[in-house]
Structure 1
């Protein structure tokens, strides 16, 4: 993960907070989120989802945005159950 930004208090770096912020939004259609990931974060969608999955297991992310992290954990667990 990246270094902590002073004054934030969450222990998450700017990139981690930006990933969670993107996940909070709703997206109008296919491709919009992937475009935003490339344009705003400069990441490939694959790398973005790798970072996101690591964040879902990070207690700092849960403390920073419990609603988003818990929602995404439930979605991930449901997908794992279906496999």
Structure 2
């Protein structure tokens, strides 16, 4: 290769194992259940009873288990990469609740 020949695209672009955009969902470090919990939480809910019923019916989890999983996801960097808007919104709510105590 001379100084005037372009390098091959493979040599110029290192391959990342995860793009971080959540597009394929396979290498983002999250399980299908983790991604489902984040997607579920991203929806808006008018009443807690409706949400709790949907947690049971759509995710097959008890509300207690759902909130345990969600709490762990808020501290998971993979979840932040997958859905930064939802994770940051929930982190802010959690911080506000803790500050109010």
Give the alignment's TM-score, normalised by structure 1.
Answer: 0.87
CA-based RMSD of the aligned residues comes to: 1.0
Aligned residues: 77
Give the alignment's TM-score, normalised by structure 2.
Answer: 0.72
Which residue pairs with 2:91 in the alignment?
Answer: 73
- Between 1 and 2, higher relative CO (CA 8 Å, sep ≥ 6) is seen in 2
Question: How far does the alpha carbon of each residue in 1:13-65 deviate from its partner, in whole angstroms, 9 at most, with x for none?
Answer: 11000100111101132311101110111111111100000000000000000
Which residue pairs with 1:41 in the alignment?
Answer: 59
Cα distance between partner residues in 1 of 2:36 and 2:64 = 16
5+ residue gaps, structure 1, are: 1-6
In terms of fraction of residues, the more helix-rich structure is 1
5+ residue gaps, structure 2, are: 1-23
Runs of 4+ in 1 over 3 A off after TM superposition: none
1:61 correspondence with 2:85: no
Map of 1:10-21 to 2, 5 A cutoff?
10-21=28-39
Map of 1:25-36 to 2, 5 A cutoff?
25-36=43-54
